[in-house]
Homo-oligomer: A and B are copies of this chain.
């Protein structure tokens, strides 16, 4: 089970009732934030998310609207008595940017680890998630993220018997343990069927449409994309500043076929994103507009 909440849906600047775009995900009691602009900590409180379980914060890029809330989040985590390390992930420059911002949060009761992304695509295993960062196209280096909860195969007693696994090891193997015997090493895959479908969420903002988005987003349960503008007259603006139109986002969803598409990172100039919804659903029917506090629980498929 994966819980998530779109903490904000604003681009560029926070507005009353529209915090800066940020996503929080939680699985097995561990949380990951993607981006945290000014106000993210307020939205977390409004939506009843705790600071202590945040294990990882991923940054798409370092424009102020995506990271200005970091000092506040760090101080709130300290205040929530977190002592376990926190891992920050983002493009090159992470330690320089975090070092600058921490001038007002210099002392924390937890270690801050940093992973700087240097490749066009990088896979990390953190907090129980498989995180794939992939480079997109903004006016500074920017990454999209796919967050996956993988799911192993089902226990298969027929297989276990075929492999001649003694009965006493079935349960520990099923739980993922590896057992070393005198003449043999027993690994969980010996008693499990093929891996089952897990959960997949893809989050991409501040970019022109590029092929990597649909490739990585393929078959996501939820795809969250930037929908900076809806008005076709703003397209030259979007191109110039390397942002994405809502209609372009919907076209990407047509290729990627996610369970749902949510749009976010709305321009402050767009007072009512909803006016474009019907047009977008004509492109990709499962399109929804993001809204501060919009939440979802994804469950593993039964089988």
Contacts and interface: CB of A to CB of B under 8 A. Distances in A.
A103 B100 contact: yes
A194 to B, nearest CB: 46
Contact of A104 (B39, B41, B63, B104): B63
Contact of A100 (B46, B63, B69, B101): B101
Interface string A20-50: 0000000000000000001101100110000
A80 to B, nearest CB: 10
A13 to B, nearest CB: 6
Interface in A37-74: 38-39, 41-42, 45-46, 62-65, 67-69, 71-72
B67 A104 contact: yes
A42 B15 contact: yes
B64 A104 contact: yes
A13 B69 CA distance: 12
Copies of this chain present: 2
A13 B45 CA distance: 11
B75 A71 contact: no
Contacts of A101: 100-101, 103-104
A105 B101 CA distance: 11
B69 A41 contact: no
A166 interface: no
A16 B45 contact: yes
A77 to B, nearest CB: 11
A107 to B, nearest CB: 11
Nearest to A96: B103
Contacts of A105: 64
B14 A42 contact: yes
A75 B64 contact: yes
Contacts of A127: none
Interface of A: 12-16, 38-39, 41-42, 45-46, 62-65, 67-69, 71-72, 75-76, 79, 96-97, 99-105
